[in-house]
Amino acid sequence: MMHDVQEQDLTIQVPITTAMRAQAEALAGRQPTAEKSEQIYRNTMAVLVVNAYLGWQGYETDLSQSNNWNLGTLAAGGDVADLMIKDLGRLECRAVLQGATVCPLPPEVWHGRIGYVVVQFDVAVDKAVLLGFKPIFDPEDPMEEVPLDELQSLDELIDYLDRLERGNTQLENAPSLEAEQVRQMWVDPYSRLMVVAQLERIYRTESRSKWRVKAEKVLSGRILEGALVREEAVLDDRIALQGLAERLLEQLATVWGSENAG
């Protein structure tokens, strides 16, 4: 079945349906102020548009796990628009209007996200434009905004999700001692998803000479989902963990392809 998706300059247009509008209006109508209502409407529409696109690409999502559907999160004032992708994690869906040059990222979306998709809306038309995406960033250097001209294409998003999927499969199923140790260290599957996403970032952006130290920070929990824990491990333990981290990343590199390594 063909879908009404048009590629223009590496962006993708997605129709806004009546059902999307009704769902966004229902959530927005529960908000205490007009400002919050507008924010929730915009965020919900962004999530629904990205959800539609990923569905066309064959990804299974769960809208009920989105914080945008969580009344407690909304009541706390969170500006969130995350979409849970099965076995991959949360993808943040940020809305911008025509004419914008940057996409702001509020602090509440800096952590626990595998990446960010930017959706452009024009109130005069019934389509949204997926402008591109930004993968997970270094939690020690959070981004307050993303320049739109630095976004990667939607094709690169699919490639990125494929790498995460292969990395997750490797970590969950590999019989290696390193993979088993990480499964024991991080019992929660969602935390392991974030470990893989951070290791993929290191693999993609850092030189091999830095893998050992950078990956150790992830496995030790000193960096995970953006949380920088100040407790220092005993030096010998850190050195051992660096070795584990380096060997694990080398194993993941064979799955991801050595040509992409930094």
DSSP code string of 28-89:
HTT-SSHHHHHHHHHHHHHHHHHHHHHHHTT--EEGGG-GGG-HHHHHTT----EEEETTTE
Residue 262 — very low, low, confident or very high, per pLDDT cuts 50/70/90?
low
Query: Which residue do the tokens 């945008």 mark?
Result: 68
Tell me 140's DSSP state. Answer: T
Query: Does residue 63 come out as left (phi exceeding 0), alpha (psi in the -120 to 50 range) or beta?
Result: alpha
Is the pLDDT confidence value at 228 over 70?
no
Percent of the chain with pLDDT over 70: 85
What's the pTM?
Answer: 0.88
β-strand partners of 147 = 102
Distance CA 261, CA 101 (A): 30
Q: What is the mean pLDDT of residues 140-144?
A: 89
And the tokens for 215?
């990956």
CA nearest 88: which of 190, 178, 204, 185?
190
Q: What is the mean pLDDT of residues 155-160?
A: 96
- Residue 231 is predicted with a pLDDT of 46
Q: What is the mean pLDDT of residues 129-135?
A: 97
Distance CA 197, CA 134 (A): 13
